[in-house]
Amino acid sequence: MDAKLVWEARYSVGLDQIDEQHQEFFRILNVMGALADTRDIKRADVLPLLQSLSDYAFYHFASEEEYLERYRYPGIAFHRRQHDIFRDRIALFLEEVESSAADLPSLFRRIVTYAREWLVNHILVEDKKCEAYFKKGNELPLGLRDAPKGE
């Protein structure tokens, strides 16, 4: 696998809660990447990690979409569709891992590569559009940047 995903300032979208969630995505994907680098990949190891990624995606996307709805982000429909595409693809990967007799190490590396590339691109393109929207006079209300987790 490629090098670990390392959080950098360029990934920040200006919302602490969302940035922290993106960092957790990086952590999950780095654990998956470390497993993908091993020779002895078992379904019993892959399935819980992939389920964890799926569960976290649902949690994070709901949180992010709540912000976008609350502050009337005009591109929310497209943004939500991008989230749906990722969730659907991960669900298909889960089914493939559960039912396939395919080469599991190769399949798992494909999954990790897809998820890493999708996440980084999504943050740097789509989430950055949201950040730009809030910076152009559509500011978040005072104190939201540091809103507690689970708001």
Give per-residue pLDDT as tens, 31-49: 999 999 988 888 999 999 9
Does residue 1 sit within a domain?
no
Domain that holds residue 102: 40-136
Residue 7 placed within a domain: no
- Domain membership of residue 85 (yes or no) is yes
29 lies in some domain: no
5 belongs to a structural domain: no
- State the DSSP string of 28-91: HHHHHHHHHTSS---HHHHHHHHHHHHHHHHHHHHHHHHHHHHTT-TTHHHHHHHHHHHHHHHH
Label residue 97 by pLDDT band (50, 70, 90).
Answer: very high
Q: Tell me the pLDDT of the chain averaged across its residues.
A: 87
Q: Does some domain include residue 143?
A: no
pLDDT in tens, 133-143: 877 765 554 44
